Amino acid sequence: MSWWRGAGLGFLRGGPLGAVVGGTIEHFLGKKLQKKVQDSLPGIIHQGEFISCLVVILARVGMESGPLSPKKVGVIHKFFMKNLGYGFPDLKHLDRLMEEVQSKKPDIDRFVEEYKKSCRDNYNLLLLALCYQISLIENVLSDEAQSMIKNIGLVLGVSYDKHNEVREKYSLHPFKTPYNILELSSNASNDEIKKAYRKMASQYHPDRVSQEDEKTVQEAHMRFLEIQSAYQELGRVRKI
């Protein structure tokens, strides 16, 4: 078995980030950093995979609010230096990986999935917190960044309530969740979700207000689309 598979990153081999991620992990595996990671963040099963995926995800999130500025890079550096014992020579490998992320702009869903596996769900909220830190470092949280972080939470399997607890720590308004839109509690059953969707979709269907004024028709149409989107999202999350 190659070290790629041993590190849990066989899915990257030959990909646009394969070579640079490989270099980052080889550096990591050749240093005495694994113990520091294990001491600081116990329970991680592939430290090299965890570190590489974390850097890729944070860099991509940082890019959604504009260029990956020195302040944003500083958030990543600070975390690795303070929590994982990285020194300046070690940070150079992370910088090279961040440069590649900026150049290639990879889709991050697979990296989030591999992060989730590598930490066995122990540090999912940590990732969300770091995503908000890097997005807010310049006091601008774009809609694009919020959308990406919301999707990261969904891929991680973090509940809407838990995600909103993280947002609250950064003085952010709670996400309007699909449960809010369908006027349900987060512990609603699948049958209750289906029933609420059918009722609200019928209530706000554009055909029901087709004879009303243009503003009313437009509002009903937007509400109908919102209801559909909420139901589809819950369908993905809960496998309805």
Give backbone dihedrals phi and psi of 215, rounded to 5 degrees, phi first.
-65, -45
Q: Give pLDDT, residue 21.
A: 60
Give residue 79's pLDDT.
Answer: 96
Question: pLDDT per residue over 22-62, tens digit each?
Answer: 555 565 555 566 777 788 899 998 787 888 889 999 999 99
Q: What is the pLDDT of residue 16?
A: 47
30 close to 95: Cβ distance less than 8 angstroms: no
Cβ–Cβ < 8 Å for 80, 101 = no
The pLDDT of residue 12 is above 80: no
Spell out the alpha helix ranges (H) of the chain.
Answer: 3-6, 18-29, 33-40, 47-63, 70-84, 88-104, 109-119, 124-136, 143-156, 160-169, 178-181, 190-203, 214-238
For residues 240 and 231, give the distance between their C-alpha atoms in angstroms, rounded to a whole number.
9
pLDDT number for residue 2: 42
How does pLDDT run across 211-224, given as a tens digit for each residue?
888 888 899 999 99
* Global confidence as pTM: 0.83
Domains and CATH numbers, the chain: 3-169 (1.10.3680), 178-238 (1.10.287.110)
DSSP 152-165: HHHHHT--HHHHHH
Instruction: Tell me what pLDDT residue 28 has.
Output: 58
The CA distance from 90 to 133, in Å, is 22
Report pLDDT for 137.
95
Q: What is the pLDDT of residue 209?
A: 82
- Cα torsion angle, 57, 61, 66, 72, sign: negative
Question: What Cα–Cα distance (Å) separates residue 71 from each residue in 66, 75, 77, 217?
Answer: 12, 7, 10, 46
What pLDDT, on the 0 to 100 scale, is given for residue 6? 40
If you average pLDDT over residues 122-147, what whole number do you get?
Answer: 95
- Predicted confidence band of residue 96 (pLDDT cuts 50, 70, 90): confident
